[in-house]
């Protein structure tokens, strides 16, 4: 089949849509002229942060299916948007090296895109995320994030919503606010906090150096952040990323995902947060999600979260020192 098809296929075993894109395998892989640098055909000049349409989208407005549904084999067009947010004109770098004002522009760009994409009546969920490193499968090294605007609420978010709503109804409080309270009380896994956000390695971490960043105020999505919270989120992202890049003697690969309330659901119980998933379990070892993780969705943790938190605290100290020596003014405190 030479034609491009973008479709959703229903997996009846787990009750989730699979996004099928027949032409994404043709996207560029770390070669040729960078399409995100200033002066490229899609970017032009005189910008600091830039949103672009993904040239190889998994979802698209004119999506076509390769076949029709048959019985429980459901197929429908993969309607949606795939955006790229170019974070800096510089060809290399990370979220700890981007100028702080540009980092605030980046967050405001995510807010703007979330608001615009959610206004489409067919879009149910907007998820910004960032993949970093060849080990993660990043095809272009120029610093960038992505945004997927989906016509359904993804399974992971559905599970979060179900558990947050249950806790809200049974306990009369927010689940993530409770987690944050417990973490701040124990303090052993808390890494950094400022006026608006707290970063910690959760009690229930699945990845060895996983870090969550929770809004300290109960809010549901990016669009609810005020100006001070945008600034503090930029600070938390900068600090956590610097911590990761000072954990070992190399720039650490990771995934960063923004978890926010769905577009069309009035879920007062949902709490906005970020989750970092680095894939290393040691300096020269990767954490592979293997049989039990994929087959059972049950993660194994080959250490104690408290031990890994101690390693991150030491890396955080080095990261804060490096940021301070570069002239950056730290806005929060390490624990």
Reply yes or no on whether 142 is catalytic.
no
If you average pLDDT over residues 43-63, what whole number do you get?
A: 96
3-state helix, strand, coil in the chain (%, to 5): 30, 20, 45
Handedness of CA 165, 167, 172, 177 (dihedral sign): negative
In sequence order, the β-bridge partners of residue 190 are 200
Q: Which domains does the chain have, with CATH numbers?
A: 6-334 (3.30.428.10)
pLDDT in tens, 219-259: 999 999 999 999 999 999 999 999 999 999 899 999 999 99
pLDDT above 70 (res 2): no
Give me the long-range contacts of 309-313 (CB less than 8 A, separation at least 24): 309/188, 309/189, 309/191, 309/200, 309/201, 311/209, 311/247, 312/191, 312/201, 312/209, 312/211, 312/243, 312/247, 313/191
State yes or no: pLDDT of 30 exceeds 60.
no
pLDDT tens, residue by residue, 99-132: 999 999 999 999 999 999 999 999 999 999 999 9
- In tens, the pLDDT along 196-207 reads 999 999 999 999
To 5 degrees, how large is the angle CA 306–CA 310–CA 311? Answer: 120
Model confidence band, residue 148 (pLDDT cutoffs 50, 70, 90): very high
What region, left, alpha or beta, does residue 197 occupy, with left being phi > 0 and alpha being psi -120 to 50 degrees?
beta
Output the CA–CA distances (angstroms, integers) from residue 317 to 167, 274, 330, in the order listed: 35, 21, 12
Contact 12, 71 (CB under 8 A): no
Q: Annotated catalytic residue: which of 91, 142, 144, 218?
A: 144
């Amino acid at each position: 089949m030479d034609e491009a098809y973008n479709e959703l296929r229903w997996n009846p075993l787990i009750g989730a849509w699979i996004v099928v894109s027949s032409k994404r395998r043709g996207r560029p892989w770390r070669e040729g002229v960078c399409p995100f640098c200033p002066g490229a055909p899609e970017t032009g000049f005189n910008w600091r942060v830039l949103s672009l349409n993904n040239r190889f989208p998994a979802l698209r407005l004119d999506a076509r299916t390769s076949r029709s549904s048959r019985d429980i084999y459901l197929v429908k067009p993969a309607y949606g948007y795939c955006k790229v947010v170019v974070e800096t004109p510089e060809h290399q770098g990370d979220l700890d090296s981007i100028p702080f004002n540009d980092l605030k522009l980046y967050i405001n760009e995510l807010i703007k895109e979330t608001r615009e994409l959610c206004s489409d009546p067919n879009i149910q969920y907007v998820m910004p995320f960032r993949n970093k490193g060849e080990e993660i499968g990043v095809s272009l090294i120029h610093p960038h994030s992505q945004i997927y605007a989906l016509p359904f609420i993804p399974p992971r978010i559905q599970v979060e919503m179900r558990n947050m709503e249950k806790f809200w109804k049974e306990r009369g409080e927010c689940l993530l606010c409770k987690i944050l309270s417990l973490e701040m009380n124990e303090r052993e896994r808390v890494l950094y906090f400022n006026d608006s956000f707290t970063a910690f390695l959760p009690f229930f971490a699945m990845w060895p150096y996983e870090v969550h960043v929770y809004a300290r105020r109960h809010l549901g999505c990016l669009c609810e952040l005020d100006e001070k919270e945008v600034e503090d989120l930029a600070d938390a992202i900068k600090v956590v990323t610097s911590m990761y890049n000072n954990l070992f003697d190399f720039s650490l690969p990771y995934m960063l995902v923004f978890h926010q309330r769905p577009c069309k659901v009035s879920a007062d119980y949902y709490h906005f947060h970020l989750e970092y998933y680095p894939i290393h379990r040691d300096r020269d070892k990767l954490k592979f999600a293997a049989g039990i993780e994929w087959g059972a969705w049950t993660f194994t943790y080959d250490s104690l979260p408290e031990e890994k938190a101690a390693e991150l605290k030491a890396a955080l100290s080095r990261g804060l020192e490096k940021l301070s020596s570069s002239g950056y003014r730290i806005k929060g405190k390490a624990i």
